[in-house]
Structure 1
Amino acid sequence: MTVWSELTGQDAAIEVFREAARASSGGAAAHPGSGQRMTHSWLVTGPPGSGRSNLAFAFATALISGHPDGDERTRIQVEARSHPDLHVLATEGVIIKRDDVREIVKRSHYAPSVGAHRVIIVEDADRMTEQTSNFLLKELEEPPDRTVWILCAPSEADLIPTIRSRVRSVRLQVPGVADVAALLVRRDGVDEALAEQAARQAQSHIGMAHRLATAPEARERRDETLRLALAVRSASSAVATAARLIEIAGDDAKAIAELRDREEREHALRSLGVAPGQAVPNALRGQLRALEDDQKRRATRTLRDGIDRILVDLSSLFRDVLVVQLGAGVPLVNRELADEIGRAAASASPTTTLATLDAIQTARERIEGNVQPLLALEGMLVSAIRRPDPNRGAA
């Protein structure tokens, strides 16, 4: 088993990183664009769920261990985010500010303590302000020897041109449903039929597919959101449904946060040398309070991510409605609701369904722009009103 074994659908990118790690262990390095295989500034791009962060951490493991396939001890430490030569800049807020990166830039100038390289990973680099990007510019241009920066973002266009010109970019593909399903079976021991369903409903988003495959309550919440949207018959039911969708997103965000917070606390205690069940020494309680404060601050972002996920699921639903209306003959994402989708297709025109899809995208943009989520969902669901006409046949 190698550090790359649990990645899927990214064979070309994995080969790039393996070759770079091999070149690095042999001392080869070059400025981005020089044509050689190893540089000290990287950008990993790809759509949400494509595995940007997973690939970045796998590459970090290979670089720190000094072996193109990594080693088990380094992998465990990197997964726990406890390796002394790994630094991660992530934010649960809307933007990454200059103050957020000041300390990590300082650390980037330290020599590796035990590994072959010191690696700095910036998740969601597209959230950097222009001021922050310019602050990082010099570090990416001339990083210290044996320090490697890995930025992650949805696309190159999300970063300023001067950043793009100083990194080597590796673009990830959306993995296929079969690839994601196979990963769930291999890694998580999920039944093949459930793995296929989860991968399909998650539209190949690896993290969401894992959650749908391993958490029955997540599948139940998703099913309820789709059925609620299909049942909207009036403006008053749109308002009531919007309120219920906010509740569902809140329940899901709470479940995700509780699991993540518990795992983070356990990792923090282990890294501080506190055994399970042991009382936390007074000298260490300040660090745990800081962790708890961070967890509370990201609660709003977690809820917004949950609402956005609901909107993505609704996009897949009305996409399926449009597929049936147009007789496109392509597979449905939500195959389990085929009968309900057929009835919804018969109750409106393709033009109406397209307007609903546009409204869903508008709602996502409004929420990202700090419009009250409840108001955005109400406006979107009004466009989803379906009034069945017994005299109308299926399109």
Structure 2
Amino acid sequence: MTAALTAPFPWSDVWGQDAAVQTLRQAASDPAALSHAWLITGPPGSGRSTLAYAFAAALIADHPDDENAMRQVLAGTHPDLTALRTDKIIITIAEARSLVERSYFAPSAGRYRVIVVEDADRMVERTSNVLLKALEEPPENTVWVLCAPSEADLLPTIRSRVRAVRLREPEVADVARLIALRTGIDEATAEQAARHAQRHIGMAQRLATDEGARRRRDETLRAVLGVRGVGTAVEVAGHIIQAATDDAKTLTAERDAAERASLLRTVGVAEGQAVPPALRSQLSALEDDQKKRATRSLRDGIDRVLTDLQSMYRDVIMLQFDRDDALINSELQADLAALAAAWPVERTLIALDAISDTRETLQRNVSPLLATESLLVTISSGRTP
């Protein structure tokens, strides 16, 4: 039985994390069990942010039946909630300093002031150091809630100042059931989406509801399977980067236009009217932020493709060891079985290592196209560069 079926509001959207919900519910209701800083860790899609905001809602509400306050928290509009969710590659020092300043404000309406930091792993060392004193000696009624994939993603000095809550990875069946319930999609499509997303709830929901995303994923995997040399490696790499770029533009274009229109409306500039010189710096700052968000969106898109490729070669390894009972890409089983028979295990491991190295490389300032081309040449040749 999942937590979503047993826990009351505001915990009802947290699926499959009964132990974590129980720990945080106890902390929200018993001051003796409440730490001043928490770290929620778990794999992508496990529900870190959902749990963080449910915890914040329970902390801020005056009592367990104060649904109005809790709904405000979940909507991100309560004055005692400060949340940072970055669309950029890193969390900046300026953003961290702003959080620290807010943490010293007394609660204005609720029991606690809660600071939620999503993607806390995106803080470099200098930025993390800004938080240290605030985490070590916060005001009595302030609670910090950080979210990250793992404790290892944060500095030891940060880890020593927080209480960790580790989420378990949900089962495919759990994610499929949730997606079917949320979207009304048929069970077979929901199961396939959950499996292809490797139990990442957000990605599973997108695959379940976006036929184009499902098609692009299938075409990409089949294209990589068809790479036979440098020529096709370069061609397929180009297609992968172009598809990721188009996807990133689709995800960000509408939001960018809405933000620009909102800014111009706020400063009194009518649509189509020239922007006064005094306001151009504000517009330029917005555009810089949007460019950084677009860069992250592109990198995230390429990383999703690499994650899919990892799942494919993981399936090949499974087949090479005569395991066909838990394939992620069972629709490609015949092709993967042929590859498993043709390749030695060592070559499949080279492919998996190359994908991991490429994912790390793309976190630095390298050309995504060149990195992807190099990866596909390595996979097709079975030799490391």
Q: TM-score, normalised by structure 2?
A: 0.87
From 26, 38, 42, the counterpart of 1:19: 26
Find the aligned partners of 2:242 and 2:128 in 1 and give their Cα distance.
37
Kindly provide the amino acid, as one letter, of the partner of residue 118 in structure 1: R
Deviations 1:157-205 (A, max 9, x none): 2222222121111011111111111111222322211111111110011
Find the aligned partners of 1:112 and 1:284 in 2 and give their Cα distance.
36
Other structure's SS at 1:298 match: helix
RMSD of Structure 2 on Structure 1 (CA)? 2.6
Post-superposition offset of 1:144: 1.4
Kindly provide the amino acid, as one letter, of the partner of residue 59 in structure 2: L
My pick for the range that moved more, 163-172 or 152-161, is 152-161
Find the aligned partners of 1:195 and 1:288 in 2 and give their Cα distance.
44
From 151, 154, 161, the counterpart of 1:159: 154
Matches within 5 A, 1:359-378: 359-378=354-373
My pick for the range that moved more, 80-89 or 204-213, is 80-89
> In the alignment, which residue of structure 1 is the partner of 2:49?
53
Matches within 5 A, 1:197-346: 197-258=192-253, 280-283=265-268, 289=283, 293-346=288-341
Other structure's SS at 2:301 match: helix
Other structure's SS at 2:188 match: helix
**CA pair 150-68 structure 1, distance change in 2 beyond 3 A:** farther
Tell whether the 8 Å contact from 1:181 to 1:192 is kept in structure 2 after alignment: yes
Tell whether the 8 Å contact from 2:60 to 2:114 is kept in structure 1 after alignment: yes
Gapped runs of 5+ residues in structure 1? 29-35, 273-278, 388-395
Kindly provide the amino acid, as one letter, of the partner of residue 43 in structure 1: L
Find the aligned partners of 2:332 and 2:249 in 1 and give their Cα distance.
27
Question: Hey, which bits of structure 1, 4+ residues long, moved more than 6 A?
Answer: 284-288
My pick for the range that moved more, 307-316 or 103-112, is 103-112
**CA pair 2-158 structure 1, distance change in 2 beyond 3 A:** same
**CA pair 283-40 structure 1, distance change in 2 beyond 3 A:** farther
> In the alignment, which residue of structure 1 is the partner of 2:169?
174
From 11, 36, 42, the counterpart of 2:38: 42
Post-superposition offset of 1:74: 3.5
Find the aligned partners of 2:196 and 2:256 in 1 and give their Cα distance.
26
Deviations 1:329-358 (A, max 9, x none): 332101112222223223322221111111
Deviations 1:298-334 (A, max 9, x none): 1001100100110000000111122222212332101
Tell whether the 8 Å contact from 2:351 to 2:379 is kept in structure 1 after alignment: yes
Are 1:65 and 2:61 counterparts?
yes
Tell whether the 8 Å contact from 1:6 to 1:183 is kept in structure 2 after alignment: no
Deviations 1:243-268 (A, max 9, x none): 10001111222222246557x859x9
Kindly provide the amino acid, as one letter, of the partner of residue 216 in structure 2: R
Gapped runs of 5+ residues in structure 2? 1-7, 271-278
From 88, 99, 105, the counterpart of 2:100: 105
Q: Identity, % of aligned pairs? A: 55
Post-superposition offset of 1:291: 5.6
Find the aligned partners of 1:64 and 1:185 in 2 and give their Cα distance.
32
Post-superposition offset of 1:130: 2.2
Find the aligned partners of 1:288 and 1:63 in 2 and give their Cα distance.
36
From 94, 106, 115, the counterpart of 2:110: 115
Kindly provide the amino acid, as one letter, of the partner of residue 375 in structure 2: M
Tell whether the 8 Å contact from 1:347 to 1:386 is kept in structure 2 after alignment: no
Find the aligned partners of 1:69 and 1:101 in 2 and give their Cα distance.
33
**CA pair 281-44 structure 1, distance change in 2 beyond 3 A:** closer
Deviations 1:275-310 (A, max 9, x none): xxxx93535997995666533321001100100110
Q: TM-score, normalised by structure 1?
A: 0.85
Kindly provide the amino acid, as one letter, of the partner of residue 282 in structure 1: V
Other structure's SS at 1:301 match: helix
Aligned residue pair count: 365
**CA pair 134-293 structure 1, distance change in 2 beyond 3 A:** closer
